[in-house]
Copies of this chain bind each other. A is one copy, B any other.
Amino acid sequence: MGTPSDAPELRRDPIAGRWVVIAPDRGRRPSASPSEAPAPSADGPCPFCPGNERSTPPEVDARRDPGTAPDAPGWRTRVIPNKFAALRPAGASGPEAERSGIYERMEGVGAHEVIIESPEHETELSALPIARIAEVLEVCRDRARAHAADPRVRYVLPFKNYGAWAGASQEHSHTQLLATPVIPNVAQEELAECERRWSGTGSCSFCALIEHERAEGTRLVAEDESFVALAPFASRFAYETWILPLRHASSFESAGGGELRALAAILQRTLAAMRRALDRPCYNFLIHSAPARQTALPWYHWHVEIIPKLSLASGFEWGTGAYINAVPPEEAAERLRAPERAPAERPAS
């Protein structure tokens, strides 16, 4: 019979060349299965609330009030290993790919962390003050730097699932971070395509894209002196929005404090526009960055991708990469640019 162990493992598909994490431990987490109501489990006390710190693994980082102890209240943001981790720290040396015929596998070494964004159970990221959002982003960047310093780690991916429809299994607002010993295939594709264009033209595709979009204007959602938020020309999903730094930089790891405060402001503005236009959508956000330690690639440009979860993916998209999007990005951007309703238009309470 051969019961596989519960240790996570990376496996490479020999047909498509992609790496997949097989993580049996994840099977035990609170479920967001289609056969259940799409609301995160509310059974028992919230493990992310202050006072319940002992119900999570010990914290690996926290921004907390002076004099407060680890794994006790007094924190503003708190980083813990994911209890149902897809990848785990292990061993002293890098994992080696083992071959067996056409197959390759690798120990599931890396990290899977949860960044609890706020002690308040009810407050979602975009409702925090800008300085607090910036602090969450700083924690993400610091964790990205810490993992990138580990030579076994080849890619760091901060991401957020907001709402059960976007895959969140806890209601309390949180961001996650994966550090992996392989480069995920979408990142590989972007890196290869951008390097190819750079070899031909000498310019960064993202820098060219930003210039084009700021000149054309129809797909802009928001901009300021440091960042631009836009609906990408070939948006895969309705209301997909990217936020890009105007300054060329390949890696999120190298973002400075001022840049993260500016990112916090435009992220808050963009998420607020989505809430307004789309009636509090569930969403995912991802920070795409160059591979770990590649902080000066001329052809790659870190950015944030936000994907509201407005329809059930047909699965078709998964299997083909042939995305069908019913909302032209020009319409999406126009709707997201619409100003907040003036007070006069609001129904008198």
Contacts and interface: CB of A to CB of B under 8 A. Distances in A.
Contacts of A328: 4, 22, 24
B16 A189 contact: yes
Interface in A289-325: 305, 307, 309-325
A11 interface: yes
A73 interface: no
A330 interface: yes
A15 B305 CA distance: 13
Given A320-B286, A323-B18, A331 B4 contact: yes
Given A23-B324, A34-B282, A324-B26, A194 B15 contact: yes
Interface residues of A, number: 95
B234 A13 contact: yes
Q: How many copies does the complex hold?
A: 2
A158 to B, nearest CB: 11
Given A2-B330, A208-B101, A212-B101, A235 B312 contact: no
A102 B205 contact: yes
A224 interface: no
Contacts of A2: 218, 330
A339 to B, nearest CB: 15
A17 interface: yes
A159 B316 contact: yes
A316 B205 contact: no
B321 A236 contact: no
A271 interface: no
Contact of A27 (B197, B279, B327): B327
Given A14-B205, A16-B193, A284 B4 contact: no
Contact of A209 (B14, B35, B189): B14
B209 A102 contact: yes
B161 A206 contact: no
Given A22-B328, A310-B34, A326-B25, A190 B316 contact: no
B320 A186 contact: yes
Contact of A32 (B15, B33, B206, B312): B312
Contacts of A24: 326-328, 331
A180 B34 contact: no
Contacts of A315: 161, 166-167, 283-284, 307, 309
A184 interface: yes
A1 interface: yes
Given A20-B235, A23-B325, A157 B320 contact: yes
Contact of A324 (B21, B193, B236): B21
Interface of A: 1-4, 11-27, 31-35, 38, 86, 101-103, 157, 159, 161, 164-167, 178, 180, 184-190, 192-194, 197, 205-206, 208-209, 212, 218, 232-237, 279, 282-284, 286, 288, 305, 307, 309-331, 334
5 contacts: A21-B323, A33-B311, A186-B322, A187-B321, A236-B318
Q: Nearest 4 pairs between A and B by C-beta?
A: A167-B314, A284-B315, A184-B322, A13-B234
